[in-house]
Amino acid sequence: MNLPEKLNSLFRAPPITRPRMFLALAIAVAADGLQLLLGPLGWAFIDQAIDGVAMILVSCVIGFHILLLPTFIIELVPVLEDLPTWTVCTAAVIVLRKRVQRPPPPAPPDKPVIDI
């Protein structure tokens, strides 16, 4: 098991349901929209507060994932904060969690082997 898998296993993620997906995406879109409205340079510490709140809320709704950390760091760069990084990262985490949550395919029935 590598380091990201160990970190992700420390935090148990809640099951991904439609309301959780929509709420997490709404939080991410709201955070990106607020930062876009503040402009490319933003206001002192307001953008960082939005990023911190977005990371905490998204982590509470869909569970912590290691992809949230680079997104938080990218959001600290003044011009890159205008990109929809929270929205993209949240969508990626939802897809990854849904893939892990998907039940395995049913096992094929045992067929007797007939020798002729």
Q: Is the pLDDT of residue 8 over 80?
A: no
**Is residue 26 in some structural domain?**
yes
Q: Is the pLDDT of residue 53 over 70?
A: yes
**Is residue 112 in some structural domain?**
no
**Is residue 80 in some structural domain?**
yes
**Is residue 91 in some structural domain?**
yes
Rounded distance between C-alpha atoms, residue 74 and residue 85, angstroms: 8
- The predicted model scores a pTM of 0.77
Per-residue pLDDT averaged across 35-62, rounded?
Answer: 86
Which is more confidently placed, 111 or 57?
A: 57
Per-residue pLDDT averaged across 26-35, rounded?
Answer: 94
**Is residue 87 in some structural domain?**
yes
Q: Is the pLDDT of residue 82 over 70?
A: yes
**Is residue 106 in some structural domain?**
no
**Is residue 21 in some structural domain?**
yes
CA 60-64-65 angle, to 5 degrees, is 150
Number of domains in the chain: 1
Domain span at residue 43?
A: 3-100
List, in order, residues 6 or more apart from 27 with CB less than 8 Å away. 54, 57, 58, 61, 86, 90
